[in-house]
Amino acid sequence: MAGILANFRNTVILSVILALVMIIAYSQSPHGMDAAFWQAVARWLHVFFGILWIGLLYYFNFVQIRKMPDVPAELKPGVTKYIAPEALFWFRWGAVGTLVMGIVVMATRGGGYGKEVMTLGLADGYSAADKGYTLMGVGAYLAIIMFLNVWVIIWPNQKIALGLVEADADAKAKAGRIAMLASRTNMLLSIPMLTSMTMTQTLFG
Ligand code: HEM
């Protein structure tokens, strides 16, 4: 066991195998392997990628950005050259996985669900029953804005700030500040976004 745990890749493989055992067990529910089963599998992957993405967003905001000013100049490259690029890799691809699986969850819900969510409940006329779509739609749009923020603002500016592309010191400092503010914006949007993701299913089904 220590041999597996000492190796990151083997640990992830074992974790996925254990999850697959659970998923096979869930296939024995009254739903069998119908559309609801695949929706549930998509939700599992959606939440996994969501944790990977937002977990790293929270690492940047709760830990790295706040502590960097205290790190002595000669130690800063340890973070900017080694830790941050790796964190940003999982961060931006975690965002892709979350968005893709969010869209799959929507698609597997079928019955015009995606259309209602993306129009905030306005598709086919608005009634009191559409409130849940409005609230879910707000969360989905917040998360999509956060996704675009990652790929259009944070990552291109981080590449400059971390020296992954050529730039002078001035441009690096400016890009670092833009990336920090964009990351803070995602921090700001993340907590309200999570209300839609977590409350809709229980309260609106
Ligand atoms: C990137 C755009 C995103 C889209 C389009 C999206 C879409 C969705 C949809 C359609 C659902 C199903 C809601 C329901 O059936 O009531 C859902 C659930 C959920 N999402 Fe997202 N989501 C996104 C981002 C995120 C992020 C960033 C997180 C962070 C962890 C997240 C966490 C969750 C959770 C925890 C659920 C609840 C699962 C459940 O209650 O069964 N989502 N999402």
Is residue 47 within 6 Å of ligand 1 at its C-beta? Answer: yes
Domain coordinates in residue numbering, the chain? 1-30, 34-204
Whether residue 80 is predicted with pLDDT greater than 90 in this model: the reply is yes
pLDDT, average across residues 182-188: 98
Q: Say what the pLDDT of residue 205 is.
A: 84
Distance CA 104, CA 150 (A): 20
Whether residue 2 is predicted with pLDDT greater than 90 in this model: the reply is no
Nearest CA to ligand 1 atom 1: 99
Please state the pTM of the whole predicted model: 0.95
Distance CA 134, CA 204 (A): 11
DSSP H stretches of helix in the chain = 2-5, 8-26, 35-58, 65-67, 76-77, 84-109, 113-118, 131-148, 155-161, 169-204
Going from the Cα of 57 to the center of ligand 1, the distance in angstroms, rounded, reads 16
Looking at the chain, the whole-number percentage of residues with pLDDT higher than 90 is: 97
Q: Say what the pLDDT of residue 101 is.
A: 98
**Tally of CB atoms within 10 A around 203:** 9
Whether residue 73 is predicted with pLDDT greater than 90 in this model: the reply is yes
